[in-house]
Structure 1
Amino acid sequence: MKIRLTVIAVALLITQQVQASAATLPQAEALANSSSPAAASQAFAALEMQALQAQRHTLQGEAAALTRDRLEKAAQTDTQADRSWLKARGYDFQTKARQQAGIELLSGFSTLPDAVLQANRDTVAAINLNATQGVRHQALADAEGISYLYFLADAMGPRLGKAFLTAYDKGEIGKAAALIKASEVSTSVAKKHFNYPRPFLVSGNTIHLVADDVVIKDNKPYTADGGSFPSGHTNTGYTDALLMAEMIPERFDALVVRGARYGYSRIVLGVHYPLDIIGSRMVVQSNLAHYLNDPHYRALFSEARDQLRSALEKECGTSLAECAQTAGKDDPYRDPAMKGFYRFTMSYGLPQQQGKAPRLVVPEGAEVLLETALPNLSAAQRRALMVNSALPAGYPLSGSTPEQAFWQRVDLSAAFALAKPAGAR
């Protein structure tokens, strides 16, 4: 695709179109329901069921029955993930350094005003209590499948999603499966640092704990331990979704939204606040930009991506571009309204502090996150998209440093959408 808009024209177009694009809380709740197993599309619902059945089968393994203790031992199988390949390459993920960088990026959490923290509590209560059965079922499947990549299938559409599930369980995408999971930087150190209690543990809370009638099916209320801020599950879900989006740019828009939807599931279950989700999104974006700018990591990424794409084309029996195409209601993650859902999850409608906003500066190399999705744009054009499609200033965690402000405000969904012609994929 040839880009005929100048950087200035793109900036003007974005300014006109994205300023009021965020969904309201009721709209976001309705959109979450449209991307749950209760969705109207039979093809989408069938894909959701296939992914859940594959997840439950893998969790059970050779055991006589699927019991809760299997979750404690859950991990990708040796068939699914080629960990020997990754180990042989000897890449240093610099985990401790990335964890410390994450704490510094989120340092503004410790000085948030009471009004913001109260809104944080009110919002999790509203989402948790108003969630439909379908949304709760999706949240349970997301939570208890954290060790696997099954949850990504529904954002690929019925045809490509089915091919993905087949290739994953046959071990045809082992390099991508291993690299994606290894790229998740644990939030455990940050949780201990901030030491913030989870919503369902706060005195006087009204949280409804969701009983598992989906995965283990023992009706045990879902809970979680450790600190609340930032969210470890969101870190996993957003890392997996964004890296898969980088590898399959034909589904970039849908997969980025899926990462946000995974984080929303944590609020549905009442085990995390909106700020926990926002913080993890910020850290993941920063981490993946760091990795993708490292030539050694990029070599691993390219090798894994090539294997993934070849395997998916084999299972599809056609090109990825064709296999990724879908129709209307069968593809809720590509509903144009989902851009508003993504925008909503960037702030969850928390109070916006007024005042003079500093000029938004793109950290060096951050534009790499749009490189595979928008290969015909220059680095300067991608940076311009990031700046001009950003969330307005002043929302919690945008902080006092340019780096904090950027990673809180950058809207990958809007930047991608506004660089593509109407109807293009």
Structure 2
Amino acid sequence: MKIRLTLIAATLLLAQQAQAVSLPQAAALANGTSPASASQAFDALEAQSLQAEINALKGGAATLTRGQLDKASQNDTQSDKAWLKASGYDFQTKANQQAGIELLSGFSKLPDSTLQASLQTVTAINCDATQGVRHQALADAEGISYLYFLADAMGPRLGKAFLTAYDKGEIGKAAALIKASEVSTSAAKKHFNYSRPFLIKGNTIHLVPDDTVVKDNQPYTADGGSFPSGHTNTGYTDALLMAQMIPERYDSLVERGARYGYSRIVLGVHYPLDIMGSRMVTQRNVAHYLNDPRYVTLFNEAKDQLRAALEKECGTTLAECAKTVGHDDPYRSPDMKQFYRFTMSYGLAKQQGASQPLSVPAGAEVLLQSALPHLSAEKRRQLMVKTALPAGYPLSGNTPEQAFWQRLDLPAAYALGKSERTH
């Protein structure tokens, strides 16, 4: 009977994940994780996070001006840069940047029909966005140098504890390591040299005025190439590493990375393809670091400090503090897994051609290790294959690595692994 229930649960989960989410449905889910949500507790956490971000951007100044944004970075209280520097760890940035360019080489072979569909999708999301979603997008954009955006994916209770611990300097090692682990997309942007959507001739993108962070109503814009997205690379990296450190909120944090990428489309400064590409390289980069013993030593030290600080601020165990809080915890809604699935393709059409069996790169299963520690490496690899996006969507390319990193659905793999254990 137990085996039968396990199979039934797994089948239902896979069937649910296969259901397509439409563009309007995805927009509604995004709205539910913005300051326009139906939960007063969640909205209060969003407001607290935004105010903390504004205070950090201002520094010691009385007011926030646009010129301060370019100089923004975690201060010495928030981030223990001295600890990280003393470690002497080499992040191998250039090598990882080159690996990212190779991973995304399929972009150059995409047909014009896919590029046009990508432009149509960003236009639809941008023009139809609610005010709450636009406010969230602005907060996400201007807070790129900080970790504040992660709080709402932790739930009202743990989220507040996180904001307190962060600004008190109690999680300085995690703050330093996570931000240093972001592999810049600048080399890839120069390589692919693709124009942003709001610069395409005849576009109908609505540039969003900043009435949220600087509050000067200046339309938000961005410089440099569009593919892949640098902000999304930051958001996914931060969210995925934090998910490894707080596996009690694993799925919510990974989904926050996808929601952060969605914000870039809302602002009209990136295409879906840019977001999809950044997700691919981020997953690859984080797995690369987590398979390096020297990095893991730093990671564990930072993780231990983070978890101890959060328990102190919560006044209880992390497991208790991280518990789901009903409608006040929208990132714990099962629908967010379908939102994540949507952001893996944004509804773009599959490409023609025969598909190859999915091959899991060596070490990729480390991305599920902290979340599913009871499972063997082989079992985690099997989960990745079982829950993968179907073959053929844009950027899945011609190599096993390109196909895997494009098709990897971490929240679905986690949910199936958790379901099989429960039943």
Report whether the alignment pairs 1:282 with 2:280: yes
Pairing partner for 2:257 from 256, 259, 281: 259
Correspondence for 1:212: 210
> How is 1:24-423 mapped onto 2 (pairs within 5 angstroms)?
24-421=22-419
> What CA distance in whole angstroms lies between the structure 1 residues aligned with 2:369 and 2:309?
22
CA distance 1:331–1:358, change in 2 (3 Å): same
CA RMSD of aligned residues (A): 1.7
Letter in 2 for 1:93: F
Letter in 1 for 2:73: A
CA distance 1:315–1:271, change in 2 (3 Å): same
Per-residue CA deviations over 1:202-246 (Å, capped at 9, x if unaligned) read 110000000000000000000000000000000000000000000
> What CA distance in whole angstroms lies between the structure 2 residues aligned with 1:351 and 1:199?
19
**Secondary structure at 1:116's aligned position in 2?**
helix
Are 1:21 and 1:343, in contact at CA under 8 Å, matched by a contact in 2? no
Are 1:263 and 1:277, in contact at CA under 8 Å, matched by a contact in 2? yes
Are 1:83 and 1:178, in contact at CA under 8 Å, matched by a contact in 2? yes
Task: Judge which range, 161-170 or 12-21, deviates more.
Answer: 12-21
Would you identify which runs of 4 or more consecutive aligned residues in structure 1 move more than 6 Å? Answer: none
**Once the 2 structures are TM-superposed, how far is the Cα of residue 21 of structure 1 from its aligned partner?**
2.9
Per-residue CA deviations over 1:133-161 (Å, capped at 9, x if unaligned) read 00000000000000000000000000000
> What CA distance in whole angstroms lies between the structure 2 residues aligned with 1:354 and 1:134?
38
Unaligned runs of 5+ in 1: none
Unaligned runs of 5+ in 2: none
**Once the 2 structures are TM-superposed, how far is the Cα of residue 327 of structure 1 from its aligned partner?**
2.0
CA distance 1:249–1:5, change in 2 (3 Å): farther
Are 1:43 and 1:330, in contact at CA under 8 Å, matched by a contact in 2? yes
**Once the 2 structures are TM-superposed, how far is the Cα of residue 17 of structure 1 from its aligned partner?**
2.2
Q: How many residues align?
A: 420
Task: Judge which range, 354-363 or 238-247, deviates more.
Answer: 354-363
> What CA distance in whole angstroms lies between the structure 1 residues aligned with 2:52 and 2:13?
44
**Once the 2 structures are TM-superposed, how far is the Cα of residue 15 of structure 1 from its aligned partner?**
8.1
**Secondary structure at 1:347's aligned position in 2?**
coil
**Once the 2 structures are TM-superposed, how far is the Cα of residue 28 of structure 1 from its aligned partner?**
0.2
Per-residue CA deviations over 1:359-415 (Å, capped at 9, x if unaligned) read 100000000000000000000100000001000000000000000000000000100
Letter in 2 for 1:59: L
**Once the 2 structures are TM-superposed, how far is the Cα of residue 24 of structure 1 from its aligned partner?**
1.2
Letter in 2 for 1:68: R
Are 1:15 and 1:388, in contact at CA under 8 Å, matched by a contact in 2? no
> What CA distance in whole angstroms lies between the structure 2 residues aligned with 1:362 and 1:9?
23
CA distance 1:5–1:287, change in 2 (3 Å): farther
**Once the 2 structures are TM-superposed, how far is the Cα of residue 355 of structure 1 from its aligned partner?**
3.4
User: Percent same amino acid among aligned pairs?
Assistant: 75
